[in-house]
Structure 1
């Protein structure tokens, strides 16, 4: 395959790179980028193709309203919960689990139900440009095999975990510690038996998946940590997600211990671990995560509904961070939605911080004390106020795009394979057209919009109608006529 036009990526956090008049060739045998030549005008294109001996490739010429982005990487998604996405947003987390999540997940004991649901899920995600997904499955071994087969057949890059639950769960949606470990190992072995070769670019990776601390005993956590080490596979769970979850953990294990400490002691914090949410991590927790190389999947929409707070992405920028949709805790399967809510949440946090800053300085003035540099023991709001004074809270769409692409790749430790455009990397990409038929984006030629404006319009206004092609590992997995 050979493309000529505009390519856009974010190789660094907050940095947008637009490659114009770029000639990109994909090795159709390996699915990797073989040639990347920016600054080749159309008038020189034919001569360049001849010189670089690329004439055997089929050439696609992008229009002025089209550009190619790295595929989106969703670092937290509950596959079974797609069945009630868009509903179940009316109760706190621990109630929500019993009222919505567990009943939906129980149904996947029926393998035929899994075969019916999962193709719809994967198709929906691909249509929204999600080329890589980190999935929580259900606790059912056979249903998780169906999910694995579905993603492979569709060509999506997937990290999949069999959820483990051995306590504090409904009687008909729980398993013994022994069965949880046995089936997790069986699922790992199943995925490894499917004949994938690393040199060809792995599309399927099994993931050790304790659901979260309230539903997992210490012996289960310890044995899962050992499994992950033995097979050298990633780990995922939830951490310090909501006030009621934190309270439940403290009720179980004591008020002086945090989720982070328990996960660390059981060997589950590694460079290949992705923990979802993290809204209520304290400073020491974040230091531990950074030291272990553990990532956080930020889920702005579900955080708004269930987590009682905002993850302060800029304050904790020393932790690897990606974005997640968290279907169905978050109702939207589109990573564009996660980017938008990330930006909005940062602005709400800034507004709260501004009020805290005024109150903090007012209290200091009343007491005749300068509080501006005193961070010891101050509230989270006061810490946010200090961040605001440094201009460190508000995020923009460029950083959101980074977290949805390159940042997610770093969380999964596949940044040398996907997430940006470089020679040798797999071609996981989406073709965006801001002028496609039926587009939600209005264009006005008299505005003299720049290419960067087109990208920003897509991030803020676009949807799946603007995504016309999706490639994973060089394979065209979605092609829509608009």
Structure 2
């Protein structure tokens, strides 16, 4: 019989649930214990008064709850709840629990192309790299299983994102039903929370000759097949959910966009929607040419029923003030993808302006337009881009720049709001799923005397990454070092709904 609870003890760091306008968030730092029900993977309570470094304090706490420490193979007494204890970090390793990252925009099928963009801009890159890669995910015979390449790529992208602490991802797949279903099945099997969407694209004016939906009705009917598969796979939507995915306006006819809008709204609750908007200036001009009767890019989606409170708009680099107002009015959400925007030369997204407008924002890696599957990397790039935006402002106040804390807010709380799960993930409140990562920065650097400074040590030490802690830093400074220098080597373990889904070996 499995234990009733898992008791985690150590330091827990998170961002506040809400940030008032004109206020920058501070880290919430607590040391103590937090326990998770193994029945549903949700946080059942916490107590920050328990000193986790004192074994007797832990023993007294467990006894006060009437629990028995679980032993494998040993049945507990009838009526006695059991608990397994997990220590948050090894002694002296500067470990802490942090909410799992939420990637609000990632193309799973494009992962093999990560870092391969040369000097391409968006539209050229799509034709040269993206469409050929995605096309290869088609079954050899219509209706057959996904090809081996799809298994290889999708398994790898799930492993890689989990290793970087991503507990939730909003995935674009391809136009192929079998491969898209495979991605959903693998996420469910591996334990990663995911929104999985079959890409829809039927406009032959822009789509490749051999990679597109045959007609607008196929965009809708094939998407419905995927939706039905995912609903059978996870009937309650606890881990994997479908998301309607028109690639972006230039690849879709007006009929396809409208049909997908109606499809999303036909469910209760309405399905989530994900697409791209105003990523590149040439793309914006193309939309104006293809949809000349529409006032703007955002209006195309609004007129076809795709601009809703459950819509995720990736990029939004070049929105007009009128479009920003419309996005806010419809309560649609934005995925900021700074690494991709810089890599493809798409532009600098004015995130502070979007935030001031009251628009909900999360972070996306946009692999493979983005070169890294790490939301931590997206966080630092968001900070850097905001500094460039500030440097170009006519009046520089410094307010345009994002703080480390704000970037981490977007990576967790903001992302949770974008995927409409703010009450369920993104923090450590009671009743939330325990979606978390255990971070270790490594031991403090040992002091070296002047006499021994010439000694050279080769090998034999654990690779704890690029973060050097000297022992005098406070937690805010340690977190800043992690954001600017950390990587997957600092991710010791990852849980989704209390299930261990990634563990880094010693």
Both structures adopt the same fold (TM-score exceeding 0.5): yes
State how many pairs are aligned: 445
| Cα distance in structure 2, aligned partners of 1:31 and 1:323 | 25
Which secondary structure does the structure 1 equivalent of 2:220 belong to? helix
1:48 equivalent among 51, 61, 68: 61
1:82 equivalent among 95, 111, 121: 111
Task: Describe the shift of the 1:148–1:442 C-alpha distance in structure 2 as closer, same or farther (beyond 3 A).
Answer: closer
Tell me if 1:142 matches 2:168.
no
Q: Partner of 2:235 in structure 1?
A: 196
The structural deviation recorded for 1:54 is 4.1
The structural deviation recorded for 1:195 is 4.2
User: Taking structure 1 as the reference length, what is the TM-score of the superposition?
Assistant: 0.89
CA shift digits 1:351-408 (9 cap, x unpaired): 111xxx2xxxxxxxxxxxxxxxxxxxxxxxxxxx3xx34x430111111111011100
| Cα distance in structure 2, aligned partners of 1:149 and 1:118 | 10
Looking at secondary structure, tell me which structure has more helix per residue: 1
2:218 equivalent among 141, 165, 179: 179
Q: Is the 8 A contact 1:241 1:307 kept in 2?
A: no
Q: Partner of 2:37 in structure 1?
A: 27
Tell me if 1:120 matches 2:149.
no
Q: Partner of 1:70 in structure 2?
A: 99
| Cα distance in structure 2, aligned partners of 1:34 and 1:425 | 8
The structural deviation recorded for 1:105 is 0.4
Alignment of 1:213-228 (within 5 A): 213-228=249-264
Q: Partner of 2:318 in structure 1?
A: 280
1:451 equivalent among 465, 475, 486: 475
The structural deviation recorded for 1:255 is 8.3
User: Taking structure 2 as the reference length, what is the TM-score of the superposition?
Assistant: 0.85
Runs of 4+ that moved beyond 4 A: none
| Cα distance in structure 1, aligned partners of 2:272 and 2:469 | 47
Alignment of 1:256-405 (within 5 A): 257-306=295-344, 308-317=346-355, 318-353=358-393, 357=394, 385=395, 388-389=396-397, 391-405=398-412
Q: Partner of 2:466 in structure 1?
A: 441
| Cα distance in structure 1, aligned partners of 2:66 and 2:417 | 34
CA shift digits 1:324-354 (9 cap, x unpaired): 000000011111110011000111111111x
Q: Partner of 2:457 in structure 1?
A: none
Q: Is the 8 A contact 1:243 1:307 kept in 2?
A: no
Tell me if 1:102 matches 2:131.
yes
CA shift digits 1:71-118 (9 cap, x unpaired): 000000011100111112311111111001100100000312211211
Report the more deviating stretch, 15-24 or 71-80: 15-24
Which secondary structure does the structure 1 equivalent of 2:198 belong to? strand
Tell me if 1:420 matches 2:417.
no
Q: Is the 8 A contact 1:243 1:308 kept in 2?
A: yes
Tell me if 1:469 matches 2:493.
yes
CA shift digits 1:397-427 (9 cap, x unpaired): 1111110111000001101110011011000
Tell me if 1:478 matches 2:505.
no
In structure 1, the gaps of 5 or more residues are 358-384
Which secondary structure does the structure 2 equivalent of 1:326 belong to? coil
Task: Describe the shift of the 1:36–1:19 C-alpha distance in structure 2 as closer, same or farther (beyond 3 A).
Answer: farther
In structure 2, the gaps of 5 or more residues are 1-5, 69-81, 140-145, 444-461
The structural deviation recorded for 1:453 is 2.0
What is the RMSD of the two structures over their aligned residues, measured on CA atoms?
1.5
1:6 equivalent among 11, 27, 40: 11
Q: Partner of 1:407 in structure 2?
A: 414
Alignment of 1:219-258 (within 5 A): 219-231=255-267, 232-254=270-292, 257-258=295-296
Task: Describe the shift of the 1:321–1:442 C-alpha distance in structure 2 as closer, same or farther (beyond 3 A).
Answer: closer
